[in-house]
Amino acid sequence: MSEPVVRSETVAGVCTVTLADEANKNALSGRLVSELMAALDAAEADPSVRVIVLTNTGRVFCAGANLAERSEPSDQSEVRAVDPVDLFARFQRSQKPYVGKINGHCVAGGMGIAAAMDYSVAIDTARMGFTEVRIGVAPAMISVLCLPKMRLGDARSVMLRGNQFLAPEAQRMGLINQAVPAEKIDTVVDEVVADLLAGSPAALAATKELLNQVPTMDSAAAFAWTSERSAALFRGRDAQEGIAAFLEKRPAAWIPDGGDR
């Protein structure tokens, strides 16, 4: 049996899923995507998992599509075994927060994964880019994830030119949240995860729902829908516990090991 190309480990409510196909620069092969989906399915189904961190081994976080596999006839390639839409869309559909720990270069489809995370931190030396036009295709599906985060002028520039840029420029364009020195990425990601663990599972799920739904609504519909959601949340057990903890000046029950609010 060959070694898995995706590894996962859960510690203290945090599931770290690691892309580990260094030989292929963590390209989105059928095998990698299938193993990644299985790891994410397991993390989603595990009630002890509160936060999912997606990271990598090697110098490349994700090089996009596996081009060798794409060049094979469709009946010989396993690349279509999992619909890429299912991969990209699941991060938004999930009730659990996803953190991208981008510990290497990230281009093409990898940019879609980085942008799909709820919070992404990259090392500041990581090269990023939408390189699709240089192999005769377009950043099609990932544009659904990336364009809402970008100024149209920035998107026209980087998607049409197909050039690469460093992570701080990706941060400026809104594609990732932070670009930090490599020696600080562990600390920064740990801080982000600690903040997420301080929020209640129900509240985080509801907030993700708001972030996905409200921008698609007109204001009247949004106010009506959010009013109902707010009332339901205030009636919920998490709100009762959170308010009681605030008034009693103690950590809420969902905070691991009595951490700070």
Q: Are strands 164-166 and 127-129 parallel, antiparallel or unpaired?
A: antiparallel
The CA distance from 66 to 5, in Å, is 14
The pair of structure tokens assigned to 61 is 């976080």
Catalytic residue among 3, 9, 132, 228: 132
Break the chain down into helix, strand, coil percent, rounded to 5: 55, 15, 30
CB 236 within 8 A of CB 252: no
* Tokens 């619909």 found at: 83
Residue 77: strand, helix, or coil: coil
Would you call 15 exposed, middle or buried from its count of C-beta atoms within 10 A (0-12, 13-18, 19+)?
buried
Question: Is 132 noted as a catalytic residue in this protein?
Answer: yes
Active site residues: 132
